[in-house]
Amino acid sequence: MIAAGAKSLLGLSIASPKGLSDSNSLSSHSRSVGVVRSCVSMDGSQTLSHNTNGSFPELKSINGKKQGPLSTVGNSTNIKWHECPVEKVDRQRLLDQKGCVIWVTGLSGSGKSTLACALNQMLYKKGKLCYILDGDNVRHGLNRDLSFKAEDRAENIRRVGEVAKLFADAGIICIASLISPYRTDRDACRNLLPEGDFVEVFMDVSLEVCEARDPKGLYKLARAGKIKGFTGIDDPYEPPLNCEISLGREGSGTSPIEMAEVIVGYLENKGYLQA
Ligand SMILES: Nc1ncnc2c1ncn2[C@@H]1O[C@H](COP(=O)(O)OS(=O)(=O)O)[C@@H](OP(=O)(O)O)[C@H]1O
Ligand SMILES: Nc1ncnc2c1ncn2[C@@H]1O[C@H](COP(=O)(O)OP(=O)(O)O)[C@@H](O)[C@H]1O
Of residues 54 and 230, more confidence is placed in 230
Q: Which atom of ligand 1 is nearest to the CA of 113?
A: 28
Radius of gyration of the CA atoms of the chain, in A: 23
Which residue in 54, 5, 58, 55 sits closest to 30, CA to CA?
Answer: 58
Which residue in 234, 229, 254 sits closest to 110, CA to CA?
Answer: 254
Q: Which residue is catalytic, options 16, 180, 206, 252?
A: 180
What value does the mean pLDDT take over residues 96-124? 98
Give the ligand with the smallest distance to the CA of 117: 2
**pLDDT at residue 110, as a whole number:** 97
What value does the mean pLDDT take over residues 136-165? 98
What value does the mean pLDDT take over residues 57-82? 74
Q: Which of 50-54, 153-157, 160-164, 244-248 has the lowest mean pLDDT?
A: 50-54
Q: DSSP characters for 100-157?
A: EEEEEE--TTSSHHHHHHHHHHHHHHTT--EEEEEHHHHTTTTTTT--SSHHHHHHHH
Name the residue of 138, 153, 179, 189 to mutate for ligand 1: max ligand atoms within 8 A of Cβ: 179
Distance 172 CA to ligand 2 centre (A): 25
**pLDDT at residue 250, as a whole number:** 61
Give the pLDDT band (50/70/90) at residue 189: very high
Average pLDDT of the chain, as a whole number: 82
Q: Residue 55 above 90 pLDDT?
A: no
Give the pLDDT band (50/70/90) at residue 253: low
Predicted structure pTM score: 0.82
Give the pLDDT band (50/70/90) at residue 67: low
**pLDDT at residue 249, as a whole number:** 85
What value does the mean pLDDT take over residues 162-171? 98
**pLDDT at residue 22, as a whole number:** 40
Distance 259 CA to ligand 2 centre (A): 12
Q: Which of 1-15, 65-79, 97-111, 240-254 has the lowest mean pLDDT?
A: 1-15
DSSP H helical segments within the chain, as ranges? 59-63, 88-95, 112-125, 135-138, 150-169, 183-190, 207-213, 218-223, 256-269
Give the ligand with the smallest distance to the CA of 113: 2
Q: Residue 231 above 60 pLDDT?
A: yes
Q: Residue 182 above 80 pLDDT?
A: yes
The answer, yes or no, to whether ipTM is higher than 0.85 is yes
Give the ligand with the smallest distance to the CA of 140: 1
Name the residue of 104, 114, 257 to mutate for ligand 2: max ligand atoms within 8 A of Cβ: 114
